[in-house]
Amino acid sequence: DVTVLPVGLDVNRLNETAPDQQFLQRLTTQVTGRLLLSVGQMLPHKHPEMLIQMQYLLTEYCRRSTTLVIVGPPTIQAIADAVAEQAAVLNTTNCLLYGQVTDAELAALYSRADLFVSASTHEGLCIPAIEAMAAGVPVLAKQVGALPQTVGQGGILLPPAAGPELFAETVIELLDNEPLRSRLAGLGLQEVRRFDAEQSIKSFLDLLDEAI
């Protein structure tokens, strides 16, 4: 018999981190409307350019008041530069590229975010998605890699081939449908319990006790 246990994480790490108050004030002045947050390294498979295009559609064609915030280290500087250039060429409004941030700043972002968005096409255990759910923020991502097992019912997973149009349409549905967003947030809080380190250790010891 084989039993699979989730890797143990400190899922409440950021919840127990005091948000940076100066950064929160910065968000108050820079963020307009609903905050769409993406967290991850600047790598090709993360496809941050698709999120720029999504934000362009939301503001230019759908006339929605949203702000896209992308944070994460510029692991490949050329990708970070290309994303910034695309935002400038499209004249995408309310698109903030913060780069790498501290835990206190990240805690502030999760406390302010309405949705967590990811256009990644390859993910193992997606820590930012778990952090978002632990903060009560629903996840919008693609059904790729281990995201279905990670997110569970704590968000909406789009087909792997989903483009910026479907992302924009789904964002609108989630922002307009408060009962759905609240239900996903509640389910996300339940999902992250599976990854709690103490629970994983207890489950492992229980299985070990049965085996010996």
Alpha-carbon gap, residue 22 to 6, rounded angstroms: 36
pLDDT at 199: 87
Q: In a 3-state reduction of DSSP, which class is residue 123? A: coil
Retrieve residue 154's tokens: 């704590």
pLDDT at 4: 84
Spell out, as residue ranges, where the chain has pLDDT lower than 70.
none
Q: Which H or E run contains 212?
A: none
pLDDT at 117: 98
Q: What is the pLDDT of residues 16-54, one digit of tens each?
A: 999 999 999 999 999 999 999 999 999 999 999 999 999
The number of CA neighbours under 13 Å toward the Cβ of 62 is: 24
The contacts of residue 23 (CB under 8 Å, 6+ apart) are 101, 104, 105, 108, 109
pLDDT at 170: 98
Per the CB < 8 A criterion, the answer to whether 116 and 138 are in contact is yes
Select from 49, 72, 48, 52 the least CA-distant residue to 60: 52
3-state secondary structure 15-66: CCCCCCHHHHHHHHHHCCCEEEEEECCCCHHHCHHHHHHHHHHHHHHCCCCE
pLDDT at 200: 87
3-state secondary structure 59-90: HHHCCCCEEEEEECCCCCHHHHHHHHHHHHHC
Residue 142 region, left (φ>0) first, then alpha (ψ -120 to 50), else beta? beta
Q: Answer positive or negative: Cα dihedral of 94, 22, 99, 146.
A: negative
Retrieve residue 190's tokens: 């339940």
